Amino acid sequence: MANNGENPSPDVGGKTVKLKADDGEIFEVEEAVAMELQTVKSFFDDDGVSYDTVVPLLNVSSTALAKVIQYCRRAVELRAKSGDDEGANEKAREEREGLEAELVREESDEGIKELILAANYLNIKDMLSFLCRAVGDRIKNKSVEYVRRFFVLENDFSPEEEERTRNEVAWAFEGVDAD
């Protein structure tokens, strides 16, 4: 099975679905994997849409889509492995957590935000959930200024207002990572 995520040709022989990223690149994906993307699933749930139709995913870049497909493919595989056996479930859970960690480890802040937007647009609940947790982990010990830069936010407090809040909860500012 090709692992580079770029237009893999599944030789499984099962049904496939074509997904088109914002730059026009087409990804041919196994049906089971494509259905992980609820947006895609809804697209085909509409009456009269044939499975040959190319699904236009206008808000997702090809880089992001490639990573999403790679994640969903592995997630589907892992789900097939787990069953009633507690040991197998445990192992599958650990592998899935490893997969999630691997996905975010090398990602820049911009990259992770892009994946979050993609997972949200494509409506992949589990993926969105762990991506949000990953960002939470990244920012939880950071300063207020760091967070403003990360989320591109303006400080709309007056200096007095901000000073007052900071003094009220000064204890929450202890032990914050240096920027």
Partner 1 sequence: MLILPQELIAEILSTLPVESLVRFQCVSKAWLSQINDPYFIKMHLHTNRQRSLIGRKRKSNRWPEEYYLVNISNEDRLGDPVKIFPPLYRSENVKYRTSVIGSCNGLVCILFFCNRKYGSHYEIGIWNPSIRKHRRVPFEPVDDKHKQGVRVNSLNLAFWYDPVNTDYKVLRIVKFDDPESKTKSLEEVQVYSLKAHSWRRIEDQLPYKEPFIISSSQSVFTNGALHWFVTSATGRTILAFDLTTEKFGVQTLPFTLHSFGNLMVLEGSLCAYAYTNQATGVWMMKEYGVTSSWSRVHTVPLTFFYRQLLAFSKDGKKQLSVIGIKLAPESDNFQSPETCQRRNQVTGILPVQESGAGILPVPESGTGRPNSGRDIAGFRPSRSYLDGPGY
Under the rule (CB under 8 A), what is the footprint of partner 1? 86, 110, 113-114, 116-117, 120, 128-129, 132-133, 135-137, 139-141, 144, 147-148, 151-157, 162, 165-166, 169, 171-173, 176
SS3 assignment for 67-117 = HHHHHHHHHHHHHHHCCCCHHHHHHHHHHHHHHHHHHHHCCCHHHHHHHHH
C-beta closer to partner 1: residue 32 or 176: 176
Instruction: Give min distance, CB of 149 to partner 1, in A.
Output: 9
C-beta closer to partner 1: residue 16 or 130: 130
Instruction: Give min distance, CB of 28 to partner 1, in A.
Output: 28
C-beta closer to partner 1: residue 27 or 130: 130
Instruction: Give min distance, CB of 34 to partner 1, in A.
Output: 23
Instruction: Give min distance, CB of 54 to partner 1, in A.
Output: 26
Question: For residues 35 and 14, is the Cβ–Cβ distance under 8 A?
Answer: no
C-beta closer to partner 1: residue 28 or 114: 114
Q: Which residue has the tokens 């030789």?
A: 11
Distance CA 161, CA 98 (A): 43
Which residues 6+ apart lie within 8 Å of 148 measured at CB?
154, 155
